[in-house]
Structure 1
Amino acid sequence: MTETKQSLFDNLQNFFGFNNFKGDQEIIIENILADKDTFVIMPTGGGKSMCYQLPALMSEGTAIVISPLIALMKNQVDQLRSFGGSDSIAHFLNSSLNKTEIARVKEDVITGKTKLLYVAPESLTKLENIEFLQLVKLSFVAVDEAHCISEWGHDFRPEYRKIRQVISNIGENIPIIALTATATPKVQQDIQKNLQMNNALLYKSSFNRTNLYYEVRAKRNVIKEIVRFVKQHQGKSGIIYCLSRKKVEEVAEALNLNGIKALPYHAGLDPKVRADTQDKFLMEDVDVIVATIAFGMGIDKPDVRYVIHHDVPKSMEGYYQETGRAGRDGGEGICLSFYSEKDIDKLQKFMKDKPVAEREIGTQILKEVIDYAESAVCRRKQILHYFGENFDAKDCHNMCDNCRAQKEFFSVEGPLIKALKLVQQLGEKFDDQHIISVLMGVDDPQIHNYEHHLLPEFGLGKEDGENLWKSLMRQALLNNYLAKDIDYYGLLRLTDKGKEYIENPYELKWVLNRPMGATDDDAEDEAPQGSGVLDTQLLQMLKDLRKKIAKQKNLPPFVIFQDPSLEEMCTHYPITLDEMKQISGVGSGKAMKFGTAFTELIKKYVEENDIDRPIDLVIKSAANKSAIKVSIIQNIDRQIALEDIASSKGLSYEDILREIESIVNSGTKLNLSYYIDDLIDEDRQEEVFGYFRTAEADSIEDALKELGSDDYTHEELQLMRIKFMSELGN
């Protein structure tokens, strides 16, 4: 072994405690030590940070590491200090430091104690920092998360495009190492061009992570699905990504309601809270982090066992990088995503106000995500194709839902020739959607503009259906019969393989996409009432108990609990008051007042009949409607007229009555006398109270028949029922 190699392995052992390098690490490090520009594309978990940390520790001077996130810098600096045994060995320079701390960092760098200095791109461009770095002996500059340079990347940062200019201002001939975990050929080209490192040696590892299992599900009752999944993986670490801060808070709350240790993480939280949350996750004080995409970059937690996307990711790069945080130790890593067309609509609305060029790029990037989610083809094959890698689906070894599923195939030969010939005939100047629209005979203004409705091919594929054409076009790209010209808005080009197929066609069978089916709106995260198989034996026992308590308290049974609440108890078997509170129609008030007898009966019944309780109770998306309910209660306390409350909330009068009934039925006492006394005189109120006191059910229709529809309106009886339930039941 040469002296340099020996030194390399000695330092690897001394600093990091490893005996061997992973993948291309050794050759990359040798290249950097030889002062050569280097471009590293390596998937998450491949050991990118080692590629610049070790040569920095072995080189004379200080290495600058440009990094986009404060949390990422802190995490890496802490690790290096623990390896190196000295706090001076690594520092970061960013907006989180005060003047005293900045002075100390600069002193350590000037005196040569600091081997790695982490800098945010915004800090790097400040004149005072450029002037300071001109005084320092720099070993090289590492640009981490280099995909941030490219507008085609998933995390574009304009400051990243100024890096090359700043490095040139600091000094001449400073070697650059650019690193990223996700780079399509287009992004790769953009990075090299912007950093002026076209002669850099490129090291590109395979993007295949064999231990990750990929699955996409239609978005129905998504919070309930997530709670069920997490409970099935109790005690394991996981990350759940949501697009909005509001949804992050809501999902974290739902998990905690169900006994799962979870914390929210997003940019709206105080930096100290975010840092504490990250530490708690690393120290395993919490099992689950619910986060916006800001969480996880550079987090060195090897045993994240699952990554869930509550919402459709914005790009395939983002999806790949986020799912890549699972199973970095080579162990179990489940990547579960929920897909809804409504999510796509939201993302498209976000792009509406952007400049045309940016919107075009964003639309193409999003289209790749849609194709991935809706396709029935091996997920791994699709991901790797996106990053310019060809992959044989049989090597997936059933590590995705599509490879495990029953497939429906269709004969490709005829349709593929039609599509390829049409691409050729139209001069390779249109995208896949346009080709499908022509074949389907879609009456679209753009098709009329080009007079493509006059082509003999117009409507030729209508009978085959849109699903077949979508399946065909996607797989023609995946199998390299067509290529997408990313520079020109995704226009399709015929490959040599595609041209050859037109000349010499052969029989092929491809997979037909499985329609995802209708998906629910976010507001419908709660399970429908009475869902599941009803335990009729328990239902009768609960009704008997309700009757007994009603007699003791001299109340009608429906005041205790209404039938839908009893039915839900028979499918979910709540055995604690906390679980009882999650049954619809049972709030804290009702649970405290009547719940104990019911939970005791259910617990005894479950034990005697050896019932395997469902692990997920009804998941109340607590944040969904709580704000509006609190506001209604506050307005009623202030004795505001119900019509005015309805108007201020953008609700109809009927809606506000329904909301008030829901509040009262769940056990909250409301005093509506200020409003009802103006509408209904005292004698009539007593008559209605007398009726409900002896009624078998709380039906307004039955009350109208008994009391006379000439004497009372539906609204009056509904208001009196609310007052009756509030005063006697709560």
Structure 2
Amino acid sequence: MGPSDVLKRYFGYDAFRPRQREVIDAIVKGEDVMAIMPTGAGKSICFQIPALLFPHGTIIISPLISLMKDQVETLTEQGIPASFVNSTIPYEESIERLRNLYRGKIKLLYMAPEKLEPSYFTQCLAQVPLSMIVIDEAHCVSQWGHDFRPSYRKIKDFIDSLPRRPVVTAFTATATPLVEADMKESLGLEKARVFRTGLDRPNLSFRVIQGAAKEDFILRYVKSHKKESGIIYCATRKAVDTVYDLLRRRGINAGRYHAGMEDEDRRQAQEDFSFDNVTVMVATNAFGMGIDKSNVRYVIHYQMPKSLEAYYQEAGRAGRDGAKSECILLYSGQDAGIQRYLIEQGNQDEDQRKMDYHRLNAMVDYCQTTSCLRNFILAYFGEKVTEPCGHCGNCESGKGRVDITDMAVLVFKTIRSLHERFGASLIADVLHGSHSRAIVERKLEDTPTYGKLSFEKASHIKSALNNFIADGYLRREGEPYAVLKLTDKARQVLAGREKVYGLAFGAESVMADAAVEKKIDRNPVRRGGLFEKLRKLRTLIAREEQVPPFVVFSDATLEDMAAVKPKNLEDMGKVHGVGAFKLEKYGARFLEVLLDQNEEEEKEEETDSHEDSALLEELKNLRRRMAGEVHKAPKSIFSDEILSSMVLQRPGTLEELKRIRGIGSKKAAAYGMPFLRLLGNNVPTAQPVPADIRQSACFLFLKKVRDRLAGGRKGDAFFSDESLHRLASGDSSVLSSLSERDAAEFRKALETYKKIRSC
């Protein structure tokens, strides 16, 4: 039996992917191999097929327990004898699995690198005849890599200690030339044949969105792709919890995963995601290499990761089955600050810290570039690039670039008028015509360009400033509060010698809308009821066998099944991904569904847009009535944009309300409670809520009294906002915590307020 026969019999494929056959042939000939192949390129098959052809067993050194479990389940379902040993397996059972490898009962044994520490286990392992040792995720051996693991440094010593050296192979998805050289030396593979296949993943679409309200975007995107499986990566545990709570609050079936959780909770979360019990996983990078789920349709980065190596590996979790998938990075200027803080808190040496900063700067450049995103990634990893890809976010938006010289001149003049002494937020406020305290105290209303962009949202102006920085017209200077400086390029524009071309102001919002509305799936079979029926059968079988659904058949296999519509088992055997073992095991059940002619189109679930629209109107009515009570313009309480975010996010507490962009602590405390009560209703009502409005108006009145009585003390520490709200609602028992004099002042203030109300 040759490699092609094994490919068809066990894996159900008729042909190899690019370079797979070359790698396999080299290994079968007994050559050491190092292969750098992107996620989804079929690395596993490159060592699994030789393992089945070799006379003795193969061990695969893999860094994560969960990855071993998933891969062994997949192999077993394909009729390939495999097992694993790691810290979850009792000692005696580990030795028994070694015996099974020795007896030939299993062909592949997955193993954690920590198991290679000298012990009785390694003494036993040395007695087992091995045809091959595979080092998966080999970049972990390099201190110059983004995921260095000291335990990988033990691998070479173990190989050198064996009485007979087997074929040694190493595989990784990404490696810069520096990391590649370190892998060769550290693993003793200086003479190995190196296969570097193209890192390009044509089925992945890359997009960077700047300046968007991240929570709103995520809610809109996930709701728009509710049937798709996705991962949302965050840089911190706190952000994971925030996004997870946000999704769960809106009824979205989400899970979470980070290192601060108990081991059992993490294991259950990963299992729920693998088994499609949850559709979206919110996680830190701790949820990374252990993912063998093939049908992830999108990966969203809520915050920028620490390096392009990390980003490409995490984004590469999408579309492993070859179907079209999206990789979206939501970028804000604060992200780089978070990563710099994480670097500073690390315990790496000075050389490593410099390397971390170098990688971080490359990541920031990716977020701010206006060139082709795919080409930027490929060039970073040392690959030659040609034409722009044409379908990444930058290529698509590039078609809409226009002459924005007039707008740019206003921005540059403002920075010059302010003597290059302020940061992006204040410059945006000046151009927008804000009456904020910072503007008034500095008397910046006298700036010649004050209010010249009042028709633009301040957030759009800030996004434009970021773009001007990325395009080299402005530069940031100073830490931690950077100011903006003009470059020579901007001065050429002010002198009238150069024009500026870019996206129109506010284009980021349009791009975010386009990303939400863009449907990942262009395959028409997925929109039919037949595909859904096949998917339901797959889920049923997966539950019966207690394995993840993708282990039964991938989405790509179901797509091919629905498109080809095989009439018999012979035709079914020709479907992409249906091997002899799975044909015998599942073929008849899937064929029964395919032959059922009473196929009905599945009705799409009704959206909740009508309810959302009704709730938004109720919030606007509440805002209008409250504005009348406190004698302010309605939009000075909460803008339309903030009300829309409330509808999307449905905050349930003042803390959650404060997290909505544009609110903050003061507005939340002053106006928040009536809005929270209305948002808490499942069905919006047209009935007015005057008591809530009066309470908020009374709260504002009492707040001024509190600030006067507090003197130099912090008001909230003297008498909390919560106590102030209770007093405004009529609960005078809270005054017992105050001195007699202060309590009397509050009672007098309440009497005064009642007289004002009665006028």
TM-score (normalised: structure 1): 0.64
Q: How far has the Cα of 1:60 moved from its partner? A: 1.8
Describe how 1:298-337 pairs up with structure 2 within 5 A. Answer: 298-337=290-329
**CA–CA separation in structure 2 for the residues paired with 1:243 and 1:466:** 37
**CA–CA separation in structure 2 for the residues paired with 1:543 and 1:292:** 38
Q: 2:356 aligns with which of 362, 367, 378?
A: 362
SS in 2 for 1:334: strand
2:33: which partner in 1? 38
CA contact (8 A) 1:574 1:602 kept: no
**CA–CA separation in structure 2 for the residues paired with 1:136 and 1:201:** 26
Highest Rg: 1 or 2?
A: 1
| Counterpart AA for 2:200 | N
**CA–CA separation in structure 1 for the residues paired with 2:474 and 2:318:** 41
2:333: which partner in 1? 341
Describe how 1:437-476 pairs up with structure 2 within 5 A. Answer: 463-464=488-489
Measured against aligned partners, the alpha-carbon deviations of 1:472-531 in whole angstroms (never above 9, x if no partner) come to xxxxxxxxxxxxxxxxxxxxxxxxxxxxxxxxxxxxx99989999999xxxxxxxxxxxx
**CA–CA separation in structure 1 for the residues paired with 2:730 and 2:84:** 53
| Counterpart AA for 1:192 | K
| Counterpart AA for 2:85 | L
Describe how 1:349-428 pairs up with structure 2 within 5 A. Answer: 349-352=341-344, 354-394=348-388, 396-405=389-398, 406-407=400-401
**Structure 2 CA distance for partners of 1:590 and 1:375, relative to 1, 3 Å:** closer
Q: How far has the Cα of 1:340 moved from its partner? A: 3.0
**CA–CA separation in structure 1 for the residues paired with 2:638 and 2:506:** 33
CA contact (8 A) 1:539 1:570 kept: no
**Structure 2 CA distance for partners of 1:578 and 1:403, relative to 1, 3 Å:** closer
| Counterpart AA for 2:384 | N
CA contact (8 A) 2:207 2:394 kept: yes
**Structure 2 CA distance for partners of 1:510 and 1:66, relative to 1, 3 Å:** farther
Q: 2:280 aligns with which of 276, 288, 292?
A: 288
**Structure 2 CA distance for partners of 1:600 and 1:160, relative to 1, 3 Å:** same
**Structure 2 CA distance for partners of 1:306 and 1:511, relative to 1, 3 Å:** farther
Describe how 1:240-639 pairs up with structure 2 within 5 A. Answer: 240-352=232-344, 354-394=348-388, 396-405=389-398, 406-407=400-401, 463-464=488-489, 542=622, 571-572=643-644, 599-601=684-686
SS in 1 for 2:2: helix
Bigger shift: residues 346-355 or 166-175: 346-355
Bigger shift: residues 104-113 or 538-547: 538-547
**Structure 2 CA distance for partners of 1:466 and 1:379, relative to 1, 3 Å:** farther
The unaligned stretches of length 5 or more in structure 2 are 405-469, 479-485, 494-498, 510-611, 658-667, 689-705
**Structure 2 CA distance for partners of 1:441 and 1:573, relative to 1, 3 Å:** closer
CA contact (8 A) 1:467 1:512 kept: no
**CA–CA separation in structure 2 for the residues paired with 1:545 and 1:510:** 45
**Structure 2 CA distance for partners of 1:233 and 1:191, relative to 1, 3 Å:** same
**CA–CA separation in structure 1 for the residues paired with 2:642 and 2:91:** 63
Identity of aligned residues (%): 32
Q: 2:737 aligns with which of 671, 675, 699?
A: 675
**CA–CA separation in structure 1 for the residues paired with 2:33 and 2:728:** 64
**CA–CA separation in structure 1 for the residues paired with 2:230 and 2:190:** 39
Q: How far has the Cα of 1:90 moved from its partner? A: 1.7
CA contact (8 A) 1:538 1:570 kept: no
**CA–CA separation in structure 1 for the residues paired with 2:746 and 2:728:** 23
**CA–CA separation in structure 2 for the residues paired with 1:389 and 1:302:** 26
Q: How far has the Cα of 1:240 moved from its partner? A: 0.8
| Counterpart AA for 1:599 | P
Bigger shift: residues 100-109 or 587-596: 587-596
SS in 2 for 1:312: coil
| Counterpart AA for 2:488 | E
**CA–CA separation in structure 2 for the residues paired with 1:511 and 1:359:** 37
CA contact (8 A) 2:116 2:154 kept: no
Q: How far has the Cα of 1:320 moved from its partner? A: 0.8
| Counterpart AA for 1:690 | E
1:198: which partner in 2? 190
Bigger shift: residues 223-232 or 280-289: 223-232
**CA–CA separation in structure 2 for the residues paired with 1:18 and 1:668:** 74
**Structure 2 CA distance for partners of 1:538 and 1:248, relative to 1, 3 Å:** closer
CA contact (8 A) 2:305 2:339 kept: no
Q: How far has the Cα of 1:249 moved from its partner? A: 1.4
**Structure 2 CA distance for partners of 1:601 and 1:41, relative to 1, 3 Å:** same
| Counterpart AA for 1:249 | D
**Structure 2 CA distance for partners of 1:671 and 1:68, relative to 1, 3 Å:** farther
Q: How far has the Cα of 1:183 moved from its partner? A: 1.2
CA contact (8 A) 1:77 1:92 kept: yes
Q: How far has the Cα of 1:284 moved from its partner? A: 1.6
| Counterpart AA for 1:9 | S
SS in 2 for 1:672: helix
Measured against aligned partners, the alpha-carbon deviations of 1:604-625 in whole angstroms (never above 9, x if no partner) come to xxxxxxxxxxxxxxxxxxxxxx
1:237: which partner in 2? 229
Q: How far has the Cα of 1:108 moved from its partner? A: 1.9
SS in 2 for 1:102: helix
**Structure 2 CA distance for partners of 1:538 and 1:127, relative to 1, 3 Å:** closer
**Structure 2 CA distance for partners of 1:65 and 1:221, relative to 1, 3 Å:** same
**CA–CA separation in structure 2 for the residues paired with 1:169 and 1:303:** 41
SS in 2 for 1:393: coil
Q: How far has the Cα of 1:270 moved from its partner? A: 2.6
**CA–CA separation in structure 2 for the residues paired with 1:136 and 1:271:** 33
Q: How far has the Cα of 1:596 moved from its partner? A: 5.4
**CA–CA separation in structure 1 for the residues paired with 2:504 and 2:354:** 28
Q: How far has the Cα of 1:390 moved from its partner? A: 1.6
**CA–CA separation in structure 2 for the residues paired with 1:69 and 1:597:** 43
Measured against aligned partners, the alpha-carbon deviations of 1:120-158 in whole angstroms (never above 9, x if no partner) come to 112212322321111101111100001111122111112
**CA–CA separation in structure 1 for the residues paired with 2:681 and 2:157:** 70
1:79 aligns with 2:74: yes
**CA–CA separation in structure 2 for the residues paired with 1:140 and 1:510:** 59
Q: How far has the Cα of 1:563 moved from its partner? A: 9.8
Q: How far has the Cα of 1:665 moved from its partner? A: 9.9
Count residues with an aligned counterpart. 538
| Counterpart AA for 1:672 | V
SS in 1 for 2:685: helix
Measured against aligned partners, the alpha-carbon deviations of 1:548-594 in whole angstroms (never above 9, x if no partner) come to xxxxxxxx978xxx998897799449899977877767989986799
Measured against aligned partners, the alpha-carbon deviations of 1:261-319 in whole angstroms (never above 9, x if no partner) come to 11111122233322222222122211110111122425232221211111211111111
**CA–CA separation in structure 2 for the residues paired with 1:569 and 1:171:** 70
Measured against aligned partners, the alpha-carbon deviations of 1:83-131 in whole angstroms (never above 9, x if no partner) come to 227xxx2222211222343243233223221211111112212322321
Q: How far has the Cα of 1:57 moved from its partner? A: 2.2
Q: How far has the Cα of 1:29 moved from its partner? A: 1.6
The unaligned stretches of length 5 or more in structure 1 are 1-5, 411-435, 445-460, 469-508, 520-531, 548-555, 604-641, 698-705, 707-730
Q: How far has the Cα of 1:678 moved from its partner? A: 3.1
| Counterpart AA for 2:383 | E
Q: How far has the Cα of 1:71 moved from its partner? A: 1.0
CA contact (8 A) 2:723 2:734 kept: no
| CA root-mean-square deviation | 4.6
CA contact (8 A) 1:211 1:333 kept: yes
**Structure 2 CA distance for partners of 1:663 and 1:343, relative to 1, 3 Å:** farther
CA contact (8 A) 1:48 1:179 kept: yes
**CA–CA separation in structure 2 for the residues paired with 1:7 and 1:374:** 49
1:634: which partner in 2? none
SS in 1 for 2:84: strand
**Structure 2 CA distance for partners of 1:392 and 1:17, relative to 1, 3 Å:** same
